[in-house]
Amino acid sequence: MKLKLTLLSALIFTGGLVKAQDSLMIRKIYDEELVNGKSYENLRYLCKSIGQRLSGSANAQKAVDWSKKLMESYGFDKVYLQPCMVPHWVRGAKEEGAIIKGNKKISVHIAALGMSVATPKNGLTAPVIELHSLKELATLGKDAIKGKIVFFNRPFDERFIETLRAYGAAGDQRFAGPAAAAKYGAVGVIVRSLTGRQDDYPHTGTTAYLKDSLNIPAAAISTNDANKLSAMLKMRSLPHVKFYFKQNCMHLPDAPSFNVVGELRGTENPNKYITVGGHLDSWDLAEGAHDDGTGVIGSLEAVRLLKVMGYKPKNSIRAVFFMNEENGDRGGEKYADLAAENKEEHIAAIESDLGGFTPRGFSFQGVSPSLLNKINNNWGPLLAPYGSGMLVAGGGGSDIGPLAGKVKGVVLIGYLPDSQRYFDVHHTPDDVFENVSKRELELGAASMASLIYLIDQHGIN
Amino acid sequence: MKLKLTLLSALIFTGGLVKAQDSLMIRKIYDEELVNGKSYENLRYLCKSIGQRLSGSANAQKAVDWSKKLMESYGFDKVYLQPCMVPHWVRGAKEEGAIIKGNKKISVHIAALGMSVATPKNGLTAPVIELHSLKELATLGKDAIKGKIVFFNRPFDERFIETLRAYGAAGDQRFAGPAAAAKYGAVGVIVRSLTGRQDDYPHTGTTAYLKDSLNIPAAAISTNDANKLSAMLKMRSLPHVKFYFKQNCMHLPDAPSFNVVGELRGTENPNKYITVGGHLDSWDLAEGAHDDGTGVIGSLEAVRLLKVMGYKPKNSIRAVFFMNEENGDRGGEKYADLAAENKEEHIAAIESDLGGFTPRGFSFQGVSPSLLNKINNNWGPLLAPYGSGMLVAGGGGSDIGPLAGKVKGVVLIGYLPDSQRYFDVHHTPDDVFENVSKRELELGAASMASLIYLIDQHGIN
């Protein structure tokens, strides 16, 4: 009995020591970032001096070159590029435009969806049919749809507390709407922008054609203009409203590009990896500040923080700037392929691609309820004082997703910032550096560094 | 044993029912606000059509008149004004200005601190002494300070996770610095703006003279300019840097003004009150969007939500727009005086004056650890799904503060939004409607309505 008690005390004591040491390290990580952080100035450069960086563009290459140099300047053990071929879609040189043709002509704001085909050279004019779901295509049938422009106008459901869920619930209109409408004979598709905000920005984003569907031109329309169009379609005095739009986008041959990888070598297990990353590419209309400048810069900052604090990781830690998340995920696929090819062991991968807002926590993909419970018990109290204690089941992200199928035992983790403002700016020209808060970005970087530290010290199983 | 078990089951069952009913009501509150909320458009009017509303100004009166009409339009049981006299400080008609006089003249951005006196008509020029704390006045002594402009330049300590703590830690320079420096013979005071952001906005805010100290002119300087001034003071080649500033502010006689109160009458306890409010006045340089437009509008919205949902409160619920929080707290004092005079019983008062950002939770002033524990156990799980589950010990706020001394048994509660961006805009011309997120404002209003509902249903003791 006495021995047992002593053992128990020793265990508690050791546990207490570990917790205190972890707590101290995390406090130091935050202090370092909040006082000496480089993330905000790095993000400024990426957004303001490079700017938009769609896969295959000259700017994407500039971003790759700059990122590599930046990582090298931090003295990481290894900095290198992972070549991958990426789709090369361009919006085209000429201006896009759209007009509602009712009793008068009303110009509206559109932007071609990423990967869409162009309209005919002089634009496309057709009657419009407003739908709120893909299912309605089948309900209405080919006779109702044929020769028309399908206008998908289901708004964000504002009742979701996390906006990502509203995005998910409305997203099929953009991802799959054009291909589905084509099957019913539609000649074009206009999609209400995927945002809850009422404004004049069209929100672009990728759409997916299917092999067996016609490729019809598809564009996003701003929410304000979607409301206008919908109102006009409901006016009995205007039975013949037509819609005109013109876009010049095209697919060029696949182009060479790269993931950028910076690595701290593990002192105990150099072939075991903890990855943290975001995607370096952005849509062509935006600076890609929140999507996903904050993700790459925050990820890099997390690794830089550990390095600059003199931390010697047990396992190798990698900051990865993935290429081509927006319209192909080729970088993510390549990273996973190489990991498998090189027989790397991956402990965990963290992805930051939900904006650079105040951190709330992390989502863990496919972990058992008991492991999630353990993570919460052990790490929740360490992260909660910094607002990052929400440790929940959920997705990892598009870039790290392919690892799951190709590398055994990796835990995929999504960084969860506050979600309220993300879809205000997502995929629009308003996604600019000025809309990022320095402190929110820094807190995010520090929260990721803290989680990497905990995983490196204690594993995750 | 069997009976006991049955009793226990019954208790659990009843408890479960209550929780389920509460949970359902809170979900409905959020749905109503996120789908049909009026808060954003009300805030737009207050900021854009009325604008700045410093106590005693014509605009403050406009805001009072509009607020009363707005409350009346909601069909509350009672809407009325509580007259109170307020200080009437004005910045003056002429422009303020400041110049660092070193080897060349550099114009810098200042703003008179609220309640400050003016400089002489042609401005004030004097050598500058840079200090980082009020204590240094005593260390250096009168000989070092006399005839000089004291430049308090202690920056925000960025290591605080909650920015309110950084504000608290730097705030004495503005609140008490001018009066303290005057005692040592200073002729003027320049205070580094109370923000962590590096920009060109001077952040005004009130300063307090003491009865036995000389009233010397005091101004806030932007952080960028504070850094410039500090750098020049450190240059050996410039041993005689002087500072010039001119401000034309003045105190007019106290002016009549009002708190605006809207009330839902309690069906069981009409003389027991739950108050929710913010302050209607703002600084003269700002639209007062986050400070405290979101506070008054969010508070009103919380009560409107309960009304529009057909909720019949047990106790009387009041939305209160307090006047004069920024430079006098006269409205708060008046509200407490009248509560005492009318022998009202006050259950709780909630104040929203930390900006309209994503809600995190509430702080409870002076509640026992066991009561706070009970609040957490009972209400934490109901509020956490909405991100408002952080229920901690802490202050209530300036406006409701006087209730504590004058009314027995009232629990004072502060609404706690995310704090990261508040001091970016606080007391500056950048505190505008455009910097408020619709959803963040709405979530705040719904979280306050939810807490009011819980207090009304279950009491708080």
Q: Please answer whether residues B178 and B189 qualify as being in contact, where contact means their C-beta atoms are separated by less than 8 angstroms.
A: yes
Residue B276 shares a structural domain with residue B234: no
Residue B60 shares a structural domain with residue B204: no
Residue A81 shares a structural domain with residue A136: no
Residue matched to tokens 């209309």: A285
Interchain contact B85–A (C-beta under 8 A): no
Residues of chain B with Cβ-Cβ distance to A420 below 8 Å are 358, 437, 439-440, 443
Which of these, A378, A444, A403, lies nearest to A274 by C-alpha position?
Answer: A403
Looking at residue A14, what is its pLDDT? 52
Residue A411 shares a structural domain with residue A269: yes
Which of these, B22, B130, B31, B455, lies nearest to B269 by C-alpha position?
Answer: B455
Instruction: Give me the helix-helix angle, A2-36 and A294-308, nearest 10°.
Output: 120
Residues of chain A with Cβ-Cβ distance to B386 below 8 Å are 161
Looking at residue B15, what is its pLDDT? 58
- A293 to chain B, closest Cα gap in Å: 19
Alpha carbons within 13 A on the beta-carbon side of A53: 33
CA distances from B150 to A396, B112, B113, B136 (A): 53, 15, 14, 11
Task: Say yes or no for a CB contact (<8 Å) between B439 and A421.
Answer: yes
- A307 to chain B, closest Cα gap in Å: 20
The residue range of the domain holding A243 is 92-248
Task: List, in sequence order, every residue forming a beta bridge with B246; answer none if it has no partner.
Answer: B97
Residue A83 shares a structural domain with residue A102: no
- State how many domains chain B has: 2
Interchain contact B197–A (C-beta under 8 A): yes
Residue that finishes a domain, picked among A233, A248, A263: A248
Mutation target vs B (from A439, A440, A450; most B CBs, 10 A cutoff): A439
Residue B197 shares a structural domain with residue B316: no
For A60, counting Cβ atoms within 10 Å of its Cβ (0-12 exposed, 13-18 middle, 19+ buried), the class is: buried
Looking at residue A210, what is its pLDDT? 86
Q: Quick one: DSSP state of residue A154?
A: P
- The ipTM of this complex is 0.94
Whether B169 shows a pLDDT value over 80: the answer reads yes
Average pLDDT over residues B137-143: 97
For A286, the token pair is 């935006």
Give the nearest partner residue to B420 out of A159, A424, A439, using CB atoms: A439
Residue B261 shares a structural domain with residue B327: yes
Buried b (16+ CB within 10 A) or exposed e, A230-248: eebbeeeeeeebebbbbbb
Residues of B with active-site annotation: 325
CA-angle at B351, arms to B349 and B354, nearest 5°: 160
Give the nearest partner residue to A159 out of B34, B159, B196, using CB atoms: B34
With CA atoms as reference, the chain B residue closest to A421 would be B437
d(CA B370, CA B392) in angstroms, rounded, equals 12
Task: Say yes or no for a CB contact (<8 Å) between A420 and B358.
Answer: yes
d(CA A53, CA A56) in angstroms, rounded, equals 8
Looking at residue A216, what is its pLDDT? 97
Looking at residue B93, what is its pLDDT? 82
Is position A345 annotated as part of the catalytic site?
no
Residue A361 shares a structural domain with residue A426: yes
Residue B118 shares a structural domain with residue B190: yes
User: Which CATH number is B409's domain given?
Assistant: 3.40.630.10
Buried b (16+ CB within 10 A) or exposed e, A182-193: bbbbbbbbbbbb
Average pLDDT over residues B219-242: 94
Looking at residue B4, what is its pLDDT? 47
**Residue A7 domain-assigned?**
no
Interchain contact A420–B (C-beta under 8 A): yes
For B85, the token pair is 């006299």
Looking at residue B14, what is its pLDDT? 52
Give the nearest partner residue to B161 out of A35, A197, A387, using CB atoms: A387
Give the nearest partner residue to A418 out of B358, B386, B438, using CB atoms: B358
Residue that finishes a domain, picked among A248, A275, A291: A248
For B451, the token pair is 């807490």
Looking at residue A16, what is its pLDDT? 64
Q: Where are the alpha helices (DSSP H) in A87-147?
A: 135-140, 142-145
Whether B110 shows a pLDDT value over 50: the answer reads yes
Divide the 461 residues of chain A into consecutive groups of 10 and give the mean pLDDT of each group.
45 62 97 98 98 98 98 98 98 93 95 98 97 98 98 98 97 98 97 97 96 91 98 90 97 98 98 98 96 98 98 98 98 98 98 98 96 97 96 96 95 98 97 98 98 97 88
**Residue B179 domain-assigned?**
yes
Residue A420 shares a structural domain with residue A375: yes
d(CA A63, CA B380) in angstroms, rounded, equals 45
**Residue B143 domain-assigned?**
yes
**Residue B18 domain-assigned?**
no
**Residue B422 domain-assigned?**
yes
With CA atoms as reference, the chain A residue closest to B387 would be A161
Buried b (16+ CB within 10 A) or exposed e, B148-169: bbbbbbbbbebebbbbbebbee
d(CA B91, CA A316) in angstroms, rounded, equals 60
With CA atoms as reference, the chain A residue closest to B197 would be A438
- B456 to chain A, closest Cα gap in Å: 24
Amino acid at B337: D
The enclosing H or E element of B389 equals none
Residues of chain B with Cβ-Cβ distance to A159 below 8 Å are 30-31, 34-35
Residue matched to tokens 């905990």: A454
Residue A145 shares a structural domain with residue A211: yes
Residues of chain B with Cβ-Cβ distance to A438 below 8 Å are 196-197
Task: Say yes or no for a CB contact (<8 Å) between B387 and A35.
Answer: no
Q: What is the pTM of this model?
A: 0.95
Interchain contact A434–B (C-beta under 8 A): no
Residue A377 shares a structural domain with residue A275: yes
Whether B387 shows a pLDDT value over 50: the answer reads yes
Residue that finishes a domain, picked among B250, B275, B296: B250
**Residue A19 domain-assigned?**
no
**Residue A385 domain-assigned?**
yes
Residues with Cβ < 8 Å from A447, sequence gap 6 or more?
A359, A383, A386, A387, A388, A415
Looking at residue B17, what is its pLDDT? 65
d(CA A275, CA A263) in angstroms, rounded, equals 9
For B27, the token pair is 């979900």
d(CA B85, CA B139) in angstroms, rounded, equals 41
User: Which CATH number is A141's domain given?
Assistant: 3.50.30.30
**Residue A364 domain-assigned?**
yes
> For B286-334, how does the pLDDT look when each residue is reduced to its tens digit (9 = 90+)?
999 999 999 999 999 999 999 999 999 999 999 999 999 999 999 999 9
> For B251-264, how does the pLDDT look when each residue is reduced to its tens digit (9 = 90+)?
999 999 999 999 99
